[in-house]
Amino acid sequence: METQEQVINRLRKSFQSGVTLPMEFRLAQLEALQDLLQENEQQILDALHKDLAKPSFEAVLSEIDMVVNDLCYTISNLPKWMQPDHVAKNLATKLDDCFVRREPLGVVLIIGAWNYPLQLVLLPLVGAIAAGNCAILKPSEISQATEQLLSELVPKYLSQACYAVTCGGAENTKKLLENRFDHIFYTGSQRVARNILQAAAVHLTPVTLELGGKCPCLVYGQLDMRAAGRRLVWAKFFNAGQSCVAPDYVLCTPQTLKELLPAVQEALEAFYGVQPEKSPDLGRIVTDRHWSRLMEMLAKSEGKVEIGGESNREEKYIAPTVVVNVKDSDVLMQEEIFGPILPILTIESLEEAINFINNRDKPLALYVFSDDTQTVTTVLESTSSGGFCSNDGIVHMCLPGLPFGGVGASGMGSYHGRWGFETFSHRRACMLRGWGLERINVLRYPPYKDSNLGW
Ligand code: NAD
């Protein structure tokens, strides 16, 4: 067994050899990653089911297809992205060749979370490979079956000289972080992100932080309430609410609440039946510890459980639950819920809703459900969030043309598609100059006394 240091040194040597630089190498590795996903679909689905009872449809959509789509997009655009960008020149640089060249950073570390355990390490890897880096993947130890599968499959399909998987929990990762990397790409909680930043500071390593937080969903004014109920329920209870971009809470007026609740109830029954515990389409909470945390929050909440509330510890099951009469000070509003519990808070006006959102950390995603485009525009223009989507939830992150990432406490940096390629690239400013125009240079040489540059 190689030590962490030996693996990093091996990858560093490969990087320094220049093997990852040619476009052909990068494309071949991206295609190998496509093969990995396509040839092992059943094994992947089984692992995700073991970890999270993830319904196959959700697993294909959010774990496999997300990466496959990004791979296709990246493979077809990489030749263009790798081209240098020539920039505008002025009189003094007229004869020079001035361009921005994308160069790989070196050996990068990708640390993933457990809720989308495959996608959260392989999607950043697409960007890292495309940009010509070597990479070490550190999947979450909590989603153990997927962690194990990744550690078997990655060396089978990708160059072992350039890419590696390391397993283990917090202690192992802390030790790993003592080493120097050229970039750290971290997905996970805000709490651990602070440790990542501290470790990165020692080596002045640049970081991308893909974090979470509380994503608001404002339901306001006239709208198709049945459709709103379905879209809200789908986005909230997909993966049993364990999505960083799940609507964390709803804001609406008391009048809207009266119309929204029956629509949510109807959508829940249509999706999961009257006994959601029996539905194969509802995932489970990842561990007993996470289940207890959610149940404790629910028990401490001073709100009223309007829908759901049932649970089963053995099964790590929590019914899709809607809580009303929730106050700002409620336990459900103190941290990201990250489970199938949806608090609804009432506001009296659009202004109050905007102030409510702006008085908290900038969220990873912000959702507005309304027929009125002016309402949507007003919220868009008077708030800040990592991503924004009107009249739906989660779906904005599936388009590789849009950057995915947070702002403020919800994260720094972004990826998906070209944004991932850029994250793992250094933009090197290049000026290739010859020996011409020396007479102009005279203007900037000392003695300066008589120089007149005219600016
Ligand atoms: P976590 O921070 O506990 O763990 C994430 C990773 O960090 C794991 O691989 C873990 O092994 C490692 N880790 C844990 N403790 C560590 C330590 N002390 N030092 C170094 N590494 C350590 O997060 P989680 O519980 O796996 O994920 C849940 C959080 O992630 C939620 O807040 C969620 O919103 C967020 N999330 C964000 C995104 C995104 O793309 N923005 C995606 C998924 C999850």
Q: Answer yes or no: do 20 and 54 share one domain.
A: yes
Closest ligand 1 atom, residue 114 Cα: 26
Q: Return the residue matching tokens 């849009």.
A: 402
Closest ligand 1 atom, residue 212 Cα: 34
For ligand 1, atom 27, the nearest C-alpha belongs to 188
Q: Answer yes or no: do 332 and 376 share one domain.
A: yes
Q: Answer yes or no: do 256 and 208 share one domain.
A: no
ipTM above 0.95, yes or no: yes
The tens place of each residue's pLDDT in the chain, 455 residues long, gives 889 999 999 999 999 999 999 999 999 999 999 999 999 999 999 999 999 999 999 999 999 999 999 999 999 999 999 999 999 999 889 899 999 999 999 999 999 999 999 999 999 999 999 999 999 999 999 999 999 999 999 999 999 999 999 999 999 999 999 999 999 999 999 999 999 999 999 999 999 999 999 999 999 999 999 999 999 999 999 999 999 999 999 999 999 999 999 999 999 999 999 999 999 999 999 999 999 999 999 999 999 999 999 999 999 999 999 999 999 999 999 999 999 999 999 999 999 999 999 999 999 999 999 999 999 999 999 999 999 999 999 999 999 999 999 999 999 999 999 999 999 999 999 999 999 888 888 888 998 876 665 55
Q: Answer yes or no: do 290 and 387 share one domain.
A: yes
Q: Answer yes or no: do 103 and 239 share one domain.
A: no
22 lies in some domain: yes
167 lies in some domain: yes
Look at residue 449 in the predicted model and tell me its pLDDT: 73
446 lies in some domain: no
For ligand 1, atom 12, the nearest C-alpha belongs to 170
Report how far residue 172's alpha carbon sits from residue 166's, in angstroms, rounded to the nearest whole number.
9
How close is the Cα of 143 to the center of ligand 1, in Å? 12
How close is the Cα of 209 to the center of ligand 1, in Å? 10
Closest ligand 1 atom, residue 244 Cα: 34
How many structural domains are present in the chain?
2
Q: Which residues contact 216 (CB under 8 A, 6 or more apart)?
A: 247, 248, 249, 250, 251, 356, 357, 363, 366, 367
Q: Answer yes or no: do 93 and 238 share one domain.
A: no
Mutate to test the pocket of ligand 1, among 187, 191, 286, 362 (most ligand atoms within 8 A of CB): 187
CATH number of the domain where residue 317 is located: 3.40.309.10
How close is the Cα of 147 to the center of ligand 1, in Å? 14
Q: Answer yes or no: do 220 and 204 share one domain.
A: no
How close is the Cα of 168 to the center of ligand 1, in Å? 13
- Phi/psi for 253 (5° steps) reads -80, 160
440 lies in some domain: no
Report how far residue 236's alpha carbon sits from residue 440's, in angstroms, rounded to the nearest whole number.
64
How close is the Cα of 372 to the center of ligand 1, in Å? 37
Q: Answer yes or no: do 149 and 239 share one domain.
A: no
Structure tokens at 118: 């495959």
- Phi/psi for 454 (5° steps) reads 80, 25
Peptide bond into 447 cis (omega under 30): yes
Q: Which residues form ligand 1's pocket by a CB distance below 6 Å?
A: 111-115, 120, 138, 140-141, 169-170, 173-174, 187-189, 192, 195, 210-212, 244, 336, 338, 364, 406, 411
Q: Answer yes or no: do 200 and 221 share one domain.
A: no
Q: Answer yes or no: do 31 and 117 share one domain.
A: yes
Look at residue 454 in the predicted model and tell me its pLDDT: 54
Indicate the Cα dihedral angle 181, 184, 188, 194, nearest 10°: 80
CATH number of the domain where residue 191 is located: 3.40.605.10
Q: Answer yes or no: do 236 and 124 share one domain.
A: no
Q: Answer yes or no: do 185 and 318 share one domain.
A: no
Q: Which residues contact 96 (CB under 8 A, 6 or more apart)?
A: 89, 431, 432, 433, 434
Q: Which residues contact 407 (CB under 8 A, 6 or more apart)?
A: 362, 384, 385, 386
Instruction: Say how many C-beta atoms besides its own lie within 10 A of residue 314's C-beta.
Output: 7
Express the helix, strand and coil content of the chain in percent, nearest 5 each: 45, 20, 35
Look at residue 438 in the predicted model and tell me its pLDDT: 85
Q: Which domain holds residue 276?
A: 216-401
Look at residue 245 in the predicted model and tell me its pLDDT: 98
421 lies in some domain: yes
281 lies in some domain: yes
Tell me, what amino acid is at 326?
A: V
Report how far residue 434's alpha carbon sits from residue 113's, in angstroms, rounded to the nearest whole number.
50
Report how far residue 136's alpha carbon sits from residue 7's, in angstroms, rounded to the nearest whole number.
9
Tens of pLDDT, residues 342-397: 999 999 999 999 999 999 999 999 999 999 999 999 999 999 999 999 999 999 99
* CA 221 to centroid of chain Cα atoms: 31
Closest ligand 1 atom, residue 406 Cα: 41
57 lies in some domain: yes
445 lies in some domain: no
